[in-house]
Structure 1
Amino acid sequence: MPSNTRAMPIVLAAVLIDTIGFGIVMPVFPTLLRQLGHIDLEAATRVAGYMLVAFALAQFVAGPVLGNLSDRFGRRPVLIASMLAFGVDYALMAIAPTLAWLFLGRTVAGIAGAVYGPASSVIADVTPPERRSAAFGYISAAFGIGFVIGPAIGGLLAGMGPRAPFIAAAVLALGNAAVMAVAMPETLARDHRRAFYWRDAHIVGAFKPLFAVRIAVPLLAACFVYQLSHMVYPATWAFWATIRFDWSPSAIGWSLAYIGLIMALVQGLVIGPVIARIGDRRALVIGLAADAAGFLAFAFVTAGWQAYALMPIAALSGFVGPAVNGLLSRMVGPERQGALQGGLGSLGSIASILSPLLMTQALAAGVDHGFVGAAFLLAAGLALAALVIVVWKVLDRVASAPDAIAQA
């Protein structure tokens, strides 16, 4: 197998294993927080929220740094270093004596978790521009499958104590690093590498080369608004389902596993063939339209079976990320793919900080006024706004000046 072909399955396996490791610890995290902090569940929930913010802030800062480092030294050393950091971090959290250690661990995990930028850069390195959107869908599929498998394994390991899943996650991450060190080839040619400058290792520097392309800024704006809307799931799903359907934690867990499975199937089996047939722009419109329609429907459902029936429609939003990534990756050269992917990761981190604040407040305000679906209604409005930006500011410009994409 040629080295450039061998790199893709190794990176996809790395993303899968890394996500499994992250998901393994989720079922035991509340218990560990309560034990270490000697606090009740309500207080542990607030502490977990603070840790989520610390994780997201660390990713926001680290994303462009790791992306630029991968443009300078290659993808392989950055990926291996991140996996090693993950392994050591999980091992330290497994023996953490206080909550402060866990905060430190989540911060380090946020830095190492910015590895998805270099991983996506590998996909861009080894895939022809016209096929990148479909290939980026495989990254999303690996991520989705990992979040189905990880919590399930974590639930089984929880019987051995709240620290056992952290040990398993450390073993997975360190094993992942070892496999990459032995088997993964470098995908960034030396003549495509560039110098590393701290002044460019931030979100504005990551997107600087795109500003000369007319459709790039509105496309980035639409991507950010979409990310704000999509965070309604992790931010409010458990609370919304409890209030709307009186679901138990087990029922909520099964629903999340179903969502992850459906998303993974769409991203792994549907996105590639469909984008190859209809192109990035149409796929982007379909994804945003499905997102808006799904959120709007969720806002008014009255029975649990209706939510399950809507999930396959909502899963079509999986077209958005790969389509945006594919379009943007063709606007920069091979020497800046790492910086671009790191910047996109930072954009997602901003959304993951802001959106939970918006969505949880919308849910609470809606409940106070007798409308449980308020958060999903807000998400539908944001998704619709992203669709309007794409139709108004992106599609017409691409149609009138197709070289804006092809030039890169």
Structure 2
Amino acid sequence: MPNPIVTRRPAVPFILVTIFLDVLGFGLIIPVLPGLIGEFTSASDAQAYWYGALAAAYGLMQFCCAPLLGAMSDRFGRRPVLLLSIFGLGCDFLLMALAPNLWVLLLARLLGGATGASFSVANAYIADVTSHEARGRGFGALGAAFGLGFIFGPMLGGLLGTQDLRLPFYVAAGLSLLNALYGLLVLPESHPRDRRVPFEFRRANPLSALVALAQLRGVGSLIAVYTLFMLAQFVLHTTWVLYNTFRFGWGPSENGLSLFIVGLVGAVVQGALLSRLLRWGERQVVYAGFASATVAYVAYGLATEGWMMYCIIFANLLSFAATPALQAIISKEVPPQQQGVAMGSLNSISSLMLVVAPVLSTPLLAHVSHYPRTDWRIGATFFLSAALQGSTLLLAWLHFRRRPVAPAGGPTA
């Protein structure tokens, strides 16, 4: 007898719309958040410190709350946890739009990090309502929805921000609250009562995935490679908008356009070119991607005109293929019975690096923000990313030199 949950057609489309609108909302505020901070403090170093504090607060709450929300959905069902998260995210955007000072912005980011951790619940929902044969396509559709939200969010936020800095926050809040209402009307529960398990704080501990990671065999220094790789990327992401504002005088529209191009190039590479690039071999793609990113980060820091940033984005195509290639290599190094632990641990590392990156990069950006725009030292945050990325290239080479290519039948011995 077919599972009645799977036949409820609004389920998967709603989840896809939710992911798209959540990421669209995040993208809407990226180009205008530095300008909003500038309404409360005009000092460039203070803007950098506060921007870093907001980013770190968001990442820390997401790191802590992702396993908590997942455990709650196992106990109480996916529907109530997901709807509560969507509603909370709408309240976060609305609170940011109405914020009278920086401390309220910080409170809003803490709320946003907690409620924005609903991606784990969305993944669980897709696993509930799809068959084993269709599950891969379901997760692929989630990735596509995520990518589309990041492509269009920054561009739309930049356009709206030229009219009013707070308008993108209102739009993001309205989309989230309308989505919560839509879900209240159409979203069925996917996790039946007979499959629910008691809530345990041990399962909700955000450090448990990192502890499990230390127990994996066969991965070795690839974990250090992945950690430094993600840290280099998040240093770039954390400082991109502020840096371009300080050095080139970019506003919301220019920053939004640049992020749109980054998302578009990434989508083209990973969606259309990746299969062809992987014919070289996954290790070769990792080498090429890491090398390309290292050179690009140095070039970003040395660029003297804003138009150069766009040229570097297009020239850095290979770096967008490095992430899936590295994840595939790690997956093949891990025995089949430990795949879940490995992938969950990688997600935990990404969340943790989202906290570490602004702690490292924004004080550095604040320190160099007083230099003239023509001074090469103002690109120090990009040089930090280049150093981290160059270290990943060296560590990957050392790791692959010690380990032969895995046979087709499974992980290396």
Q: 2:176 aligns with which of 173, 187, 203?
A: 173
Q: 1:350 aligns with which of 352, 355, 358?
A: 355
Identical positions, percent:
31
Task: Write the distance in 2 (CA, Å) between the matches of 1:337 and 1:179.
Answer: 35
3-state SS of the aligned residue for 2:217?
coil
**What is the TM-score normalised by the length of structure 1?**
0.75
Task: Write the distance in 2 (CA, Å) between the matches of 1:40 and 1:366.
Answer: 16
Q: Per the alignment, do residues 241 and 99 of structure 1 end up closer, same or farther by CA in structure 2, a change over 3 Å counting?
A: closer
Contact 1:281/1:395 (8 A) holds in 2: no
Tell me what 1:52 maps to: 55
- Segment drifting more, 63-72 vs 362-371: 362-371
Tell me what 2:88 maps to: 85
TM-aligned CA deviation for residue 9 of structure 1: 5.5
Q: 2:19 aligns with which of 5, 11, 15?
A: 15
Task: Write the distance in 1 (CA, Å) between the matches of 2:195 and 2:355.
Answer: 30
Matched ranges for 1:77-116 at <5 A:
77-116=80-119
TM-aligned CA deviation for residue 172 of structure 1: 1.0
- Segment drifting more, 52-61 vs 134-143: 134-143
Task: Write the distance in 2 (CA, Å) between the matches of 1:284 and 1:191.
Answer: 44
- Segment drifting more, 113-122 vs 52-61: 113-122
Task: Write the distance in 2 (CA, Å) between the matches of 1:338 and 1:4.
Answer: 29
3-state SS of the aligned residue for 1:175?
helix
Q: Per the alignment, do residues 394 and 143 of structure 1 end up closer, same or farther by CA in structure 2, a change over 3 Å counting?
A: farther
Q: 2:385 aligns with which of 367, 379, 383?
A: 379
- The amino acid across from 2:351 in the alignment is S
Contact 2:236/2:381 (8 A) holds in 1: no
Task: Write the distance in 2 (CA, Å) between the matches of 1:335 and 1:181.
Answer: 31
Contact 1:298/1:307 (8 A) holds in 2: yes
Contact 1:75/1:186 (8 A) holds in 2: yes
Task: Write the distance in 2 (CA, Å) between the matches of 1:275 and 1:64.
Answer: 35
Contact 2:23/2:153 (8 A) holds in 1: yes
TM-aligned CA deviation for residue 112 of structure 1: 1.2
Contact 1:92/1:105 (8 A) holds in 2: yes
Greater fraction of residues in helix: 1
Contact 1:56/1:352 (8 A) holds in 2: no
Task: Write the distance in 2 (CA, Å) between the matches of 1:127 and 1:224.
Answer: 33
Task: Write the distance in 2 (CA, Å) between the matches of 1:75 and 1:217.
Answer: 35
- The amino acid across from 2:293 in the alignment is D
Tell me what 1:291 maps to: 293
Contact 1:229/1:355 (8 A) holds in 2: no
Task: Write the distance in 2 (CA, Å) between the matches of 1:109 and 1:14.
Answer: 15
Contact 1:232/1:359 (8 A) holds in 2: no
Q: Per the alignment, do residues 354 and 127 of structure 1 end up closer, same or farther by CA in structure 2, a change over 3 Å counting?
A: farther
Task: Write the distance in 2 (CA, Å) between the matches of 1:241 and 1:49.
Answer: 15
- Segment drifting more, 161-170 vs 184-193: 184-193
Q: Per the alignment, do residues 309 and 97 of structure 1 end up closer, same or farther by CA in structure 2, a change over 3 Å counting?
A: closer
TM-aligned CA deviation for residue 83 of structure 1: 1.1
Task: Write the distance in 1 (CA, Å) between the matches of 2:74 and 2:346.
Answer: 11
TM-aligned CA deviation for residue 257 of structure 1: 2.9
- The amino acid across from 1:379 in the alignment is S
Provide the aligned length of Structure 1 versus Structure 2: 402
Q: 1:218 aligns with which of 204, 217, 221?
A: 221
Is 1:309 matched with 2:311? Answer: yes
Q: Per the alignment, do residues 180 and 266 of structure 1 end up closer, same or farther by CA in structure 2, a change over 3 Å counting?
A: farther
TM-aligned CA deviation for residue 114 of structure 1: 1.9
Q: 1:257 aligns with which of 231, 238, 260?
A: 260
Tell me what 2:396 maps to: 390
Task: Write the distance in 2 (CA, Å) between the matches of 1:71 and 1:331.
Answer: 24
TM-aligned CA deviation for residue 150 of structure 1: 2.5
Task: Write the distance in 2 (CA, Å) between the matches of 1:278 and 1:390.
Answer: 17
3-state SS of the aligned residue for 1:231?
helix
Matched ranges for 1:230-269 at <5 A:
230-238=233-241, 240-241=243-244, 246=248, 248-249=250-251, 250-269=253-272
TM-aligned CA deviation for residue 226 of structure 1: 0.7
- Segment drifting more, 384-393 vs 3-12: 3-12
Q: Per the alignment, do residues 147 and 339 of structure 1 end up closer, same or farther by CA in structure 2, a change over 3 Å counting?
A: closer
- Segment drifting more, 160-169 vs 106-115: 160-169
Task: Write the distance in 2 (CA, Å) between the matches of 1:111 and 1:259.
Answer: 27
Task: Write the distance in 2 (CA, Å) between the matches of 1:77 and 1:95.
Answer: 27
Q: CA RMSD in A?
A: 4.6
Q: Per the alignment, do residues 293 and 55 of structure 1 end up closer, same or farther by CA in structure 2, a change over 3 Å counting?
A: same
Q: 1:227 aligns with which of 217, 226, 230?
A: 230
Q: Deviations over 1:149-183 (max 9, x none)?
A: 22443345457755443332122112333444556
